[in-house]
Every structure is written in structure tokens, then in C-alpha cells.
Amino acid sequence: MAEAEKTTQTNTQEAPVVVATMDAKKLKGVDAKGTVVPMPVARVYSSRGLEYLFMVLSLVGLTLGAVLLGNDIIAYLFDSNSVIGGLSEWAGLEALTIVSGLFFFYLWTRLRAAEEISPSLIADASRKRALQRGLIVGFISLLFASFAVVYILLSIASDGQDFKAENWQDIVTSIYTLGVIGASFNFLFNQERKGE
């Protein structure tokens, strides 16, 4: 209040009321012409928006674990070198998938129930921000997975040789990966579009 000018006003009960007014030129939001420019608002997540961000991060972990574990199982079924290193290494992927899945399903059911109680939560700006960040990561992943499928198919076709077991493994692995990432992207896309 050191920079504020104090003025005294009276209300209907004749008690003095002190009103603080700021000198606009002393504000940091004034441009060279003397026009008051709105100050930027800090972008923080609401408490529910932070829960949505945690849900998106756990979905990313679930998707990553499912893709790696599934690709390793496919490699095992084709009697090929696994991506991770064999059955003994599956425990880490299983743990990632289970823990991320449990967090994701807990947060999703909790937030879905909160949306039913308070439909205005769907319009929360930090909810949309969290979902849109997840959509960006999902789109980039989907783009690279699609690129991998097309690349594998084109490289097999350009060889002019018969399909080998490793060709089938590559096709099955890339289609599985594309499906898992696509399902996660579709979930986030539908969540982001809810309420429009």
C-alpha cells in the first residue's frame, strides 16, 4: 500500500472506508504510450486438472508398457530375439503395465464420477490442457508407428523375396504397436471432445 493513494469514503452508516487506488503509470503493465496492458495470468493447473495430467501420464506409462511387453511376447512367439532380453526381463514390463494401469483406471473412474457430479468440470481449462498435451504425444507416437508399418511393408515388397518368419513378426509387431497407440490416442481424443 506504499504506492497506493488513500481516499476516504463514507457509507450509509457514516463509518470511514479506505479504498486503495493504484497509480497506473507505476504498474509494470503500462506500455510506452501510457496504455495499461493486461498482466499475464500464471498458468497453473487446478486440482482436478492436475489429476487429469496424472491420468494422462499413467496412460502413457500403460501404453508404453503394453507396447514393449506385447512386442516382446510376439518376438518370443516367433522364436526370435526379444526386444527386452527374454522372459526374465518381462517382470519390469509387467510391473510398468500393472502399476500404470492401476493408476490410470483409478484416476479415470474418479474423474468420471466427478464429471457426473459436476458437469462444469468438463470445461475446466487445465483439464483440456492436460488432455491436449497427451494428444500431442499420442499423435507423434501414432505418426511414427504408422511410418514404421508403411516402411516395413514397403521394404518387404521391395525385396522381391518370399515372406519369412521375421517379416511376419515385423508386420504383427508394427500392427500391434499401431493398435495400442491408436487406442490410447482415441481415448484421449474422445475425452477431449467430450462436452463440445
Q: Residues 117-146: pLDDT tens digits?
A: 998 888 888 899 999 999 999 999 999 989
10 or 74, which is more confident: 74
User: CA 162, CA 158: separation in Å to the nearest integer?
Assistant: 11
Q: What local confidence, expressed as pLDDT, does residue 167 receive?
A: 78
By three-state DSSP, how is residue 21 classified? strand
Q: What local confidence, expressed as pLDDT, does residue 78 receive?
A: 81
Q: What local confidence, expressed as pLDDT, does residue 124 receive?
A: 87
By three-state DSSP, how is residue 13 classified? coil
Q: Residues 46-79: pLDDT tens digits?
A: 888 899 999 999 999 999 999 988 888 888 888 7
User: CA 58, CA 122: separation in Å to the nearest integer?
Assistant: 20
User: pTM for the complete prediction?
Assistant: 0.72
Consecutive H or E run containing 191: helix 165-193
Q: How confident is the model at residue 1 (pLDDT cuts 50, 70, 90)?
A: very low
Q: Residues 154-192: pLDDT tens digits?
A: 887 777 666 676 778 888 888 999 999 999 999 999 999
Contact of 139 with 185, CB cutoff 8 Å: yes
Residue spans of alpha helices (H) in 22-164: 47-77, 90-117, 125-159
Q: What local confidence, expressed as pLDDT, does residue 183 receive?
A: 95
* pLDDT for residue 94 is more than 60: yes
| DSSP one-letter code for 2 | -
